[in-house]
């Protein structure tokens, strides 16, 4: 029976490759739509910021809150839209009902993102029509203080970006981080991230790194601070100074109610790529595994999967998470695609063969599960283990699981 099962799975894989090719057009179209929606959001956001600069005193705080709240929802929706496309691509053609379900999910997120983008445009247009445009502009090259209007902050930031005088303004931008106004912080973070594009600015920027890290604790600008933190990570000169920010990123992940968990997860994945962060990332892995075990956490499984696929140096630290993943696949009906993908990849990754072999009794029981996907995944895993000579004696102890 084991040989027959192996043959069937092998044949299915060949046919499945053709199915993936046939379905690639759907995902490619939606990835293109996703990129365009992001461009539309950025265009509307830039227009709104310009309107604030032209007549900020006439745009009410209520309109501003409504705009930024809608934009936050839109960005989260765009993240979910992209994630739904990835989930669609990961579903096997052997599960057509699940494939169709994922296709409907992709289309649902597309509609929701477009509706939110339309809402964002309407809010901007309404704010413009209700305000009288002022001809006042900010003084070129003169940095605003904490008591000046938000429009002057925005104008000044745009002005120094366009004029090429960023380098001379770096000390003043860093000083803006010490202000008490969230709008000042947000503008300074945007300019600071832009500064990082030019290597000649890096040495002068280093004194501002602690302030960026501190702003990760400021609820009013956490999204911008995370984005700037991630941009700075791309440059080796800043990384050692950014070490104190790692515990703050972990706090985002531990807060199950934070809307910034998924952006923080992406930052954590970036941290793991650089040797300077190896120790704090390694130290954080037990917390990641605890959250994964207690909550079947979708955010933490993304981190686990990234470390599994791309960072062999962390494999030993990930091993204690194997029983939790097996349990979640076996018993949790809400386990998403990432759990199933990790479950399968564990059986084909050399470092995890021994802990997976220990789970053979539980994996064998999955063959009796009433969910087809659980049964199919268990069979695939057992077949992968059977391909390893050192695991075959362990499989023979469980004849039900092998056949």
Distances (CA, A) of 208 to 112, 144, 200, 388: 38, 18, 15, 53
Structure confidence by residue, pLDDT tens digits, 244-289: 999 999 999 888 777 888 899 999 999 999 999 999 999 999 999 9
What residue segments make up the domains of the chain, in order of their start?
A: 23-129, 152-244, 272-403
The reported pLDDT for the residue numbered 301 is 92
Task: Give the span between the Cα atoms of 349 and 360, in whole angstroms.
Answer: 16
The reported pLDDT for the residue numbered 8 is 41
The CATH fold assigned to 272-403 is 1.25.10
Between 180 and 159, residue with greater pLDDT: 180
List of long-range contacts for 114-118, beta carbons under 8 Å, 24+ apart: 114/37, 116/70, 116/73, 116/74, 116/77, 117/37, 117/40, 117/41, 117/44, 117/74
Between 61 and 21, residue with greater pLDDT: 61
The reported pLDDT for the residue numbered 180 is 75
pLDDT range class, residue 400, cuts 50, 70, 90: very low
pLDDT above 90 as % of the chain: 35
pLDDT range class, residue 151, cuts 50, 70, 90: very low
List of long-range contacts for 172-175, beta carbons under 8 Å, 24+ apart: 172/143, 173/143, 173/208, 174/205, 174/207, 174/208, 174/211, 175/143
Show Cβ contacts of residue 108 under 8 Å, excluding neighbours closer than 6 positions.
84
Find out whether 190 and 221 touch, Cβ atoms under 8 Å.
Answer: no
Between 138 and 62, residue with greater pLDDT: 62
Task: Give the span between the Cα atoms of 184 and 177, in whole angstroms.
Answer: 8
3-class secondary structure, 373: helix
pLDDT above 70 as % of the chain: 78
69: phi then psi, degrees, rounded to nearest 5: -65, -45
Task: Give the span between the Cα atoms of 108 and 84, in whole angstroms.
Answer: 9
Alpha helices in 130-274 (DSSP H): 150-163, 166-176, 182-195, 202-205, 209-215, 222-233, 236-239, 246-254, 261-271
pLDDT range class, residue 78, cuts 50, 70, 90: very high
Task: Give the span between the Cα atoms of 281 and 245, in whole angstroms.
Answer: 12
């Amino acid at each position: 029976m084991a040989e027959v099962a192996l043959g069937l799975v092998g044949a299915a894989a060949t046919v499945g490759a053709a199915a993936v090719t046939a379905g690639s057009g759907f995902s490619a179209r939606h990835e293109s739509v996703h990129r365009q929606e992001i461009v539309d959001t950025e265009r509307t956001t830039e227009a709104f910021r310009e309107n604030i600069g032209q007549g900020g005193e006439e745009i009410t705080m209520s309109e501003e809150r409504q705009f930024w709240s809608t934009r936050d929802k839109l960005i989260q929706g765009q993240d979910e839209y992209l994630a739904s496309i990835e989930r669609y691509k990961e579903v096997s053609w052997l599960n057509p009902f699940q494939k169709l379900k994922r296709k409907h999910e992709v289309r649902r997120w597309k509609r929701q993102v477009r509706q939110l983008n339309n809402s964002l445009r309407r809010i901007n247009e309404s704010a413009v029509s209700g305000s009288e445009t002022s001809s006042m502009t900010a003084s070129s090259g003169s940095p605003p203080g904490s008591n000046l209007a938000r429009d002057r902050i925005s104008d000044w930031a745009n002005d120094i970006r366009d004029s090429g005088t960023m380098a001379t303004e770096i000390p003043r931008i860093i000083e803006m981080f010490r202000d008490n106004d969230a709008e000042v912080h947000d503008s300074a973070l945007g300019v600071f991230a832009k500064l990082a594009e030019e290597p000649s600015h890096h040495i002068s920027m280093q004194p501002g790194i602690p302030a960026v890290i501190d702003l990760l604790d400021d609820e009013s600008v956490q999204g911008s601070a995370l984005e700037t933190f991630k941009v700075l990570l791309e440059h080796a000169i800043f990384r050692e100074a950014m070490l104190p920010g790692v515990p703050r990123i972990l706090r985002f992940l531990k807060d199950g109610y934070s809307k910034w968990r998924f952006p923080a997860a992406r930052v954590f994945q970036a941290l793991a790529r650089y040797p300077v962060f190896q120790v704090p990332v390694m130290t954080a892995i037990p917390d990641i595994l605890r959250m994964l075990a207690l909550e079947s956490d979708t955010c933490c499984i993304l981190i686990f999967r990234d470390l599994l696929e791309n960072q062999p140096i962390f494999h030993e630290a990930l091993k204690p998470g194997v029983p939790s993943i097996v349990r979640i696949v076996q018993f949790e009906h809400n386990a998403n695609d990432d759990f199933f993908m990790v479950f399968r990849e564990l059986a084909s990754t050399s470092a995890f063969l021994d802990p997976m072999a220990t789970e053979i009794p539980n994996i064998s029981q999955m063959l009796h599960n009433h969910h087809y996907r659980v049964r199919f995944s268990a069979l695939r895993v057992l077949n992968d283990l059977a391909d390893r000579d050192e695991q075959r004696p362990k499989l023979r102890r469980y004849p039900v699981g092998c056949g």
